[in-house]
Amino acid sequence: MDFQTEFKPLTVQPQEIEEKSFDIISEEFGPHDYPEEQYKVVQRVIHASADFELGRSLVFHPHAVRAGIEAIRQGHPVIADVQMVQVGISKPRLEKFGGDVRVYISDPDVMQEAKRLNTTRAIIATRKAAREAEGAIYAIGNAPTALLELIRMVKAGEARPGLIIGVPVGFVSAAESKEELLKLDVPFITNVGRKGGSPVAVATVNALSLMAERSG
Separation CA 99–CA 28 (nearest Å): 35
Among all residues, which ones are annotated catalytic? 47
pLDDT of residue 107: 97
Q: Assess contact for 140 and 146: CB atoms under 8 A.
A: yes
pLDDT of residue 173: 93
The 10s digit of each residue's pLDDT in 62-119 is 999 999 999 999 999 999 999 999 999 999 999 999 999 999 999 999 999 999 999 9
Residues 6+ apart with CB under 8 A from 141: 81, 82, 84, 85, 165, 167, 168, 169, 196, 197, 198, 199, 200, 201, 202
The 10s digit of each residue's pLDDT in 113-150 is 999 999 999 999 999 999 999 999 999 999 999 999 99
Cβ count near 183 (within 10 Å): 9
Domain boundaries, the chain: 59-215
**Cβ-based burial of 123 (10 A; exposed 0-12, middle 13-18, buried ≥19):** buried
Region 59-215: CATH code: 3.40.50.10230
Q: Residue 79, SS3?
A: strand
Residue range 40-51: mean pLDDT, rounded = 95
The mean of the pLDDT values for the chain is 93
